[in-house]
Amino acid sequence: MTKQARMAKLKPQRSFMAKLVVRIPYLWLAAFFLVPFLIVLKISLSQTAIAQPPYTPVFDFAAGWHGLASFIAGLSLDNYAFLGSDPLYFLSYVKSVEIAALSTLMLLIIGYPIAYAMTRTPRRVQAVLVLWVILPFWTSFLIRIYAWMNILQHDGPLNQLLLALDLVREPPVWLSTNTAVYIGIVYSYLPFMVLPLYATLEKLDESLLEAAADLGCPRWKTFWLVTLPLSAPGVIAGALLCFIPAVGEFVIPDLLGGSRTAMIGQTIWTEFFANKDWPTASAVAVVLVCLLVTPIVVFQHQTMRGVAND
């Protein structure tokens, strides 16, 4: 066989493999994001029924074309109209966004100095510090939240400390308050804020800071004029990594927050499991996804711009 013939035989196979490698992430997304989302979308257009599954219509393969027509006719937007009619849902969304946004802000204020300080230490120490930041992941998330329940309870370590230091007369109530939810979210999400910030700050060219000083800029001003603008990609990445999951957070508000802290995750849970109203729960979830797509698109845009700049 000539070399050309061998090459010709090899070529299509290789390009098929190359295509497959590129498509694996897409296949993954299709199988584990798109298909489940379409199922949820379909359920959100259905009506509740006392049946198995607890909604109708259900697509009947045996009925053929006629079945498909009646299936489509059975779908409606009633659940979305219902979401609009009951202020409970709207308030729940607002509450979730408010808690997530405020938590993200607090995470930035706490996380930025941590990440910045990490980059100022010698290289060997930096590796250890990164390990420390991700150390909490070595313990189950649920256990850590239960630990916070213990810390925050009426006669828990926090109140004992406050009393011992004479900072309070009466032990304050922490559990079942918004404050506890904020503490829980800020504590749990801190690594997701610190790591992207650290990654961008660590890449910051030291000579840019020297150039700023050389041009007459004092250190504190250099931070605002050079360091902060150049760490914007890290700020955005960290903020989105915290904000997006925080909006849909269920465990933290459920365990640390009170009944008044009804975040959207809890609302969905109640609809699914307490009310057995899958269609309404699905509609709530679909609206949440649509709400979160906006910041994700912003993030994507920012990342693409970053790639173009490199």
Partner 1 sequence: MQAAGSSGGLAKRDFAPWADRNSQPLLRLAGVSKRFGAFTAVDDLSLDIYQGEFFALLGPSGCGKTTLLRLIAGFEQASAGRILLDGVDLAPVPPHRRPVNMMFQNYALFPHLSVAGNVAFGLKQERLPKAQIAERVADMLALVRLDNLGRRKPHELSGGQRQRVALARSLVKRPLVLLLDEPMAALDKKLRGETQFELMDLQRRLGLTFIIVTHDQSEAMTVADRIAVMDCGRLMQVAPPAEIYERPSSRWVADFIGSVNSFEGRVGDDGTCIDGTALGRLRVAAKIDAAPGAKVWVAVRPEKLRITRGAPLPDPRSARENGAAATLVDIAYLGDLSIYRLRTDSGLLLQATIANTGRLGDGAIGWNDKVWLSFPPEAAIVLTK
Sites of contact with partner 1 (CB under 8 A): 205, 207-208, 210-218, 221, 225-226, 229-230, 309
Residue 248 CB, shortest distance to partner 1, in Å, is 33
Identify which of residues 154 and 305 has a Cβ nearer to partner 1 in the complex.
Answer: 305
d(CA 236, CA 298): 9
Residue 216 CB, shortest distance to partner 1, in Å, is 4
3-state secondary structure of 47: strand
The CA-atom distances, in angstroms, between 167 and each of 140, 154, 155, 156, 225 are: 32, 15, 15, 15, 40
For residues 193 and 244, the answer to whether their CB atoms sit within 8 Å is: no
Residue 226 CB, shortest distance to partner 1, in Å, is 6
Identify which of residues 99 and 226 has a Cβ nearer to partner 1 in the complex.
Answer: 226
d(CA 118, CA 127): 9
Identify which of residues 161 and 225 has a Cβ nearer to partner 1 in the complex.
Answer: 225
47: β partners: 56
d(CA 72, CA 291): 26
Residue 121 CB, shortest distance to partner 1, in Å, is 18
Residue 292 CB, shortest distance to partner 1, in Å, is 28
Instruction: With CA atoms as reference, report the closest residue to 235 among 116, 122, 128, 94.
Output: 116
